[in-house]
Structure 1
Amino acid sequence: MGVGSKIRKLIDYYYSKKNEKNVVPINIPKNKSNLLENKVALIVGGTGGIGAAIAESFLEAGAKVIISGTSEEKVTKTVEKLGNATRGIQIDLNNVTEFDNKVSQAISLFPENRIDILVNCAGVHGNQKFGSVSEATYDAVMNTNLKGLFFMTQIVSNYMKEKKIKGHILNVSSAAALKPGYTPYEISKSGVRSFTLGAAAELIPYGIVVNAIAPGPVATAMLGRKEGDTLYTDCIPAKRFATPSEIGQLAVIMVSDMCDLVIGDTFYISGGSGTIQY
């Protein structure tokens, strides 16, 4: 490395550290409302950072919330943390044959005996790149991120049609869906984006609204972030991670009556990642 390159690296390092000190963790103001009053929501993947934040935002907007997760222990802990208007159910997204029974159980958890909102939030990353992807990793990512989402949407939407519920379905995609797909994760999230369009077209005649949100880097454990860490990052144009609560508040709007005419769309909350920067 030449002297000029070394100096350039030192300058870049200095400014990154300077910016890091100026960008501190932020708390997004909680926006309590009644946008989801009298609604019951099922959040699949509700024990993770984004899913739990969506659940919390829904509760603040007046909804009752059912969360699911693969780990019964995590489901129980999350329900205890979120409070009385929350119920939990263990669902293994690799076991599609159980979905009908699990959805029926979920419906019965509140006196309303209904589901008005479905959020498909479960996701796994995989961390293997093209050239070294194992079949086991490929299947694990696709089964959770796409296959499970597809069949859960099919079952819940059939229930909504049968009960004439004009509900909302929100899929959690990713800004990675806009990037060239050379990992199972990117391919799966691109599939979510495509399926959102298809499901929206199929279900809007029944008054069921289907959309997606697509986060970029979010300050969650999946990206190695923990409470108290700085939000600063130089990898996206906005120069900071999104917070889970920001995702949650957007989700509230997306499944409320405010978005009844937003059909088949994907809203990017990515700080420019994927949209203006690949």
Structure 2
Amino acid sequence: MNAKTLKHAVTSFFTAIKTKNIVPIEHIVDDAKVLDKKVALITGGSGEIGYAIAKSFIESGCHVIITGTNAEKLKSCVEKLGDSSKGIFVSQKIAKYFVENKTKGHILNISSSTGGEPGWSAYRISKQAIENLTLGLAQKLSPYGIFVNGIAPGSTATNLLNYKDGDSIATRDNVIGRMVMPDKIATYAKMLVSDLGNMVVGETIYISGGRGKFDIR
């Protein structure tokens, strides 16, 4: 470090102290604590992707609330996840609650890689709407310390695609030639709702092997 750079760093430090404009930089190296003392509400938590996300969050120190439309499936998931989860059936307007209670946090919307494809079906149009909503909420809520992003999985190895444990994950749905696993989606979700994701705002991350980005069908 040369003298000019050192002088600039020292000056910036004391200026920050005087103005109280100090933002902590957190380097989290322990994956088991990346969501420590945080609380997550996961809608659709009884589905295979939602369940994988809930399980991953709990393993990283998070207290989890899951919602679902099937009471039996929801009860089963809660029992598997253990005491760190609680099942509820009605979701509140989370963003409004955050703002009114001056609570900082993250909102992660789940879309689909079909949101990047031409909107010739109601399903695709609905996923495009989720991505636009994600961007709009991010713009409005980021000044309050609320970070909004989305993930858009491609073909995923779940029972929706008739996948069972031990089946091949090979697929022709993307150029990579394989389905994504629910736990991989959960890993991206965990990163985006942790403090590691605070500089990612308004993005929808495609976990799709290129489908919906350059692989348009």
Structure 1 and Structure 2 fold alike (TM over 0.5)? yes
| Number of residue pairs matched by the alignment | 187
The answer as to whether partners of 2:108 and 2:149 remain within 8 angstroms in 1 is: yes
The CA distance in 1 between the partners of 2:104 and 2:88, in whole Å, is 24
Please list the CA deviations of residues 241-267 of structure 1 after superposition, one character each: whole Å capped at 9, or x if unmatched. Answer: 000000001100000001111110111
After TM superposition, list the pairs within 5 Å mapping 1:247-262 onto structure 2: 247-262=185-200
**Match for residue 200 of structure 1 among 105, 118, 138:** 138
Paired AA for residue 146 in structure 2: I
After TM superposition, list the pairs within 5 Å mapping 1:164-243 onto structure 2: 164-243=102-181
Q: With structure 1 as the length reference, what TM-score do the two structures score?
A: 0.65
The CA distance in 2 between the partners of 1:277 and 1:33, in whole Å, is 35
The answer as to whether partners of 1:170 and 1:210 remain within 8 angstroms in 2 is: yes
The CA distance in 2 between the partners of 1:270 and 1:33, in whole Å, is 26
SS at match of 1:52: helix
SS at match of 2:140: helix
1:75 counterpart = 2:74: yes
**Match for residue 246 of structure 1 among 184, 205, 214:** 184
The CA distance in 1 between the partners of 2:177 and 2:108, in whole Å, is 27
Q: CA RMSD in A?
A: 1.2
After TM superposition, list the pairs within 5 Å mapping 1:16-165 onto structure 2: 32-91=31-90, 99=91, 103=92, 155-165=93-103
Paired AA for residue 262 in structure 1: V
Aligned-residue sequence identity (percent) comes to: 47
Q: With structure 2 as the length reference, what TM-score do the two structures score?
A: 0.83
Please list the CA deviations of residues 71-119 of structure 1 after superposition, one character each: whole Å capped at 9, or x if unmatched. Answer: 111111100011111110123xxxxxxx5xxx4xxxxxxxxxxxxxxxx
Paired AA for residue 88 in structure 2: I
Paired AA for residue 65 in structure 2: I
SS at match of 1:246: helix
The answer as to whether partners of 2:155 and 2:173 remain within 8 angstroms in 1 is: no
The CA distance in 1 between the partners of 2:182 and 2:61, in whole Å, is 19
1:110 aligns with none
The CA distance in 2 between the partners of 1:235 and 1:263, in whole Å, is 28
Structure 1 residue 32: Cα displacement:
4.6
Structure 1 residue 234: Cα displacement:
2.4
Moved over 3 A (4+): none
Please list the CA deviations of residues 217-257 of structure 1 after superposition, one character each: whole Å capped at 9, or x if unmatched. Answer: 00111222121111111231111000000000110000000
The CA distance in 2 between the partners of 1:176 and 1:84, in whole Å, is 36
The answer as to whether partners of 1:211 and 1:263 remain within 8 angstroms in 2 is: yes
The CA distance in 2 between the partners of 1:32 and 1:60, in whole Å, is 9
SS at match of 2:118: coil
Please list the CA deviations of residues 166-210 of structure 1 after superposition, one character each: whole Å capped at 9, or x if unmatched. Answer: 110000011101101111111100000000000000101111000
